[in-house]
Structure 1
């Protein structure tokens, strides 16, 4: 398969890229690195990326930003960071990317534990993740040409444990192999409309 991994050089993305590239042709997209560059918050940039790459068998998005701060400190503009980047970035990947997918292709989006088990200072990020979950379940009913869609939602990952452990007291980090397994299940399996929750 020819697979696009947006965010393929990130903490999770590079592990997914390593595994998937053993069996498939992988194209990595990133803001400042990769085979092709993309601004995830701009639909024109996303469209240009797909036009550059051409037809694909699978699309994987492991990208998007959201503001972490106390709710009382968050402005309307702060919320729009996550809405425009992580939420609409992934929605636009589906909206635009489906036109570049071969029949029976797949799309895999990324969220996280915050949708189900938020922690302090994650009001915006939790909201965005939950929105993506609802979007995946709804859009799976309408995608045509056999296109499948799922989201991988992981707990705190072991490779980011030291950076984020103070935000997630008591959370057992998930092994990177287990998280990558979730992406492989979505890409190579037959499931659709699923939220694949990867917990320790």
Structure 2
């Protein structure tokens, strides 16, 4: 399969690339904001459209990119909340909406949500809202896609490899290895299900 991984150099993306390239069965195209085989700004319609025009026909899209705003609700403004929604929720939706037209019949899209939607954390209202939006989009979009196109999401708990940065936000939470999270993306790409949210570690 020809697979595009957006966020290929990130905490999750790098493990996804390793998982999907280790047996030599897939042609994985690494995409990042500033690095990789191609670069893209997923907050920009034009940038995403240009990316898929360059790459051509593909079999799968994985998005493991997008940031949320972690801040106390008492300090959150509508503008800052909107920025978080734009960066994670709407950027991933944008990739799905634009990228669908480059998918071959039977292709797949895999987005990324996260544990904050099920297990809210302090300062995590924006993260929970973004993740819930992604999961809602996946479930509903799965009903509308044609040509056998599938869409799923992976919702990981905190990665063991990211504990130094995010551990304080998730006190008492058991982490999961990036290699285990990556297996859920393989399941989404190579499996047959659609409209699913694959939860890893929670």
TM-score where L is the length of structure 1? 0.98
Q: 1:174 aligns with which of 150, 173, 176?
A: 176
How far 1:156 sits from its partner (Å)? 0.6
Match of 2:54 in 1: 52
Q: Any unmatched runs of 5+ in structure 1? A: none
Contact 1:108 1:150 in 2 (8 A): yes
Match of 2:96 in 1: 94
Following the alignment from structure 2 to structure 1, what is the Cα–Cα distance between the partners of residues 89 and 167? 24
How do 1:45-84 residues align onto structure 2 when only pairs under 5 Å count?
45-84=47-86
Q: Secondary structure at the match of 2:4?
A: strand
- Point out the more displaced range, 136-145 or 76-85: 76-85
Contact 1:2 1:24 in 2 (8 A): yes
How do 1:1-200 residues align onto structure 2 when only pairs under 5 Å count?
1-22=1-22, 23-199=25-201
Question: For 1:165-185, what per-residue CA distance to the aligned partner results, in whole angstroms no more than 9, with x for missing partners?
Answer: 111011000122210111110
Following the alignment from structure 1 to structure 2, what is the Cα–Cα distance between the partners of residues 138 and 53? 27
Contact 2:19 2:179 in 1 (8 A): no
The ranges of structure 1 where at least 4 consecutive aligned residues each deviate by more than 6 angstroms after the TM superposition are none
Following the alignment from structure 2 to structure 1, what is the Cα–Cα distance between the partners of residues 75 and 103? 41
* RMSD after superposition: 0.9
Following the alignment from structure 2 to structure 1, what is the Cα–Cα distance between the partners of residues 47 and 78? 24
TM-score where L is the length of structure 2? 0.97
Aligned length: 200
Following the alignment from structure 1 to structure 2, what is the Cα–Cα distance between the partners of residues 41 and 58? 20
Contact 1:65 1:81 in 2 (8 A): no
Contact 2:140 2:195 in 1 (8 A): yes
Q: Any unmatched runs of 5+ in structure 2? A: none
How far 1:43 sits from its partner (Å)? 1.3
